[in-house]
């Protein structure tokens, strides 16, 4: 696996290797769309944003991607394709396809800390980790209500997409399977 903070380095590798299916994976807000758009534009390759092929407001991601639409685009596109979205390896498992090249985008502080590391590298039991996160969210909501002179909420929902992304990283480890890890410095 190669690490870089330079998009031009990724362009160089892709233009040399010319893979057919290039995936850009990472958590929400990591910079996947920006990188995929840049690569697509500079290389002249097709670009698929999985967000454009998902049933909205369903509370999840991979299970709500319209796989038939994505398959149709992939089957009818000549040349290389850059496809981006969260939980990308799970989506490709559902598509029964494999990526030729995977780029994982990490949002990194200028001093080197990966912002999402706690949620993406879980070493304890995943259910215990999720329940701990839910407990922290509940306590935060209660404290927030108290500070605002409100009644504490009776039911605090942990966002389904957040849980899916945590479980996805636990199971698939895309940051470890990537050909290139792009460290987007904030």
Tens digit of each residue's pLDDT (9 = 90 or more) over 98-113: 999 999 999 999 998 9
Sheet holding 2-4, edge to edge: 2-4, 180-185, 101-108, 21-25, 81-84, 46-49
Same-domain pairing of 93 and 157 = no
**Extended beta strands in 36-156, E state:** 46-49, 81-84, 101-108
- With bands split at pLDDT 50, 70 and 90, how would you rate the model's confidence at 137? confident
Which range marks the domain in which residue 37 is found? 2-117+172-185
Residue 144 has pLDDT above 80, yes or no: no
Where does 85-157 have alpha helices with state H?
A: 88-95, 117-120, 126-147
CA distance 167 to 53: 22
- With bands split at pLDDT 50, 70 and 90, how would you rate the model's confidence at 151? confident
According to the model, what pLDDT value does residue 149 have? 82
Same-domain pairing of 69 and 141 = no
Q: Assess if residue 167 is contained within a domain.
A: no
Same-domain pairing of 33 and 104 = yes
Q: Does residue 89 contact residue 174 with C-beta atoms inside 8 Å?
A: yes
For 160, the enclosing helix (H) or strand (E) is helix 160-172
Instruction: Report the share of the chain in percent with pLDDT over 70.
Output: 98
Q: Assess if residue 94 is contained within a domain.
A: yes
Residue 36 has pLDDT above 80, yes or no: yes
Measured CA distances, 182 to 52, 56, 78, 127, 177 (Å): 23, 28, 26, 29, 13
Q: Which of 66, 67, 62, 101 is nearest to 81 (CA)?
A: 101
Same-domain pairing of 127 and 85 = no
Q: Which two tokens stand for residue 151?
A: 């009644």
In the chain, helix, strand, coil percent, each to 5? 50, 20, 35
Same-domain pairing of 35 and 127 = no
Read off the pLDDT of each residue in 80-91 and give the average, rounded to a whole number.
Answer: 96
Same-domain pairing of 157 and 176 = no
- The residue ranking higher by pLDDT, 165 or 151, is 165
Look over the chain and give the mean of its residue pLDDT values, rounded to a whole number.
91
Q: Residue 33 sits in a domain of what CATH number?
A: 3.40.50.300
Q: Assess if residue 11 is contained within a domain.
A: yes
Same-domain pairing of 150 and 71 = no
Same-domain pairing of 109 and 52 = yes
Read off the pLDDT of each residue in 114-130 and give the average, rounded to a whole number.
Answer: 93
Q: Does residue 53 contact residue 69 with C-beta atoms inside 8 Å?
A: yes
Same-domain pairing of 18 and 79 = yes
Same-domain pairing of 83 and 139 = no
Same-domain pairing of 15 and 75 = yes
Which tens digits make up the pLDDT trace of 167-182? Answer: 999 999 999 999 999 9
How many separate domains does the chain show?
Answer: 2
């Amino acid at each position: 696996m190669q690490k870089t903070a330079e998009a031009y380095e990724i362009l160089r590798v892709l233009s040399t290797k010319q893979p057919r299916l290039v995936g850009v994976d990472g958590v929400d807000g990591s910079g996947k769309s920006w990188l995929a758009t840049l690569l697509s534009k500079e290389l002249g390759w097709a670009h698929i944003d999985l967000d454009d092929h998902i049933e909205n407001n369903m509370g999840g991601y991979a299970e709500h991607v319209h796989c038939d639409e994505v398959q149709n685009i992939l089957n009818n596109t000549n040349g290389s394709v850059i496809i981006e979205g969260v939980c990308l390896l799970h989506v490709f498992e559902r598509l029964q396809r494999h990526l030729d090249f995977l780029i994982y985008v990490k949002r990194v502080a200028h001093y080197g800390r990966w912002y999402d590391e706690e949620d993406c590298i879980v070493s304890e039991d995943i259910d215990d980790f999720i329940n701990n996160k839910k407990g922290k969210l509940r306590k935060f909501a209660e404290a927030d209500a108290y500070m605002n002179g409100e009644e504490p909420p009776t039911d605090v929902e942990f966002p389904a997409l957040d849980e899916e992304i945590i479980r996805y990283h636990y199971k698939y480890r895309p940051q470890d399977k990537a050909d290139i890890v792009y460290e987007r410095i904030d």
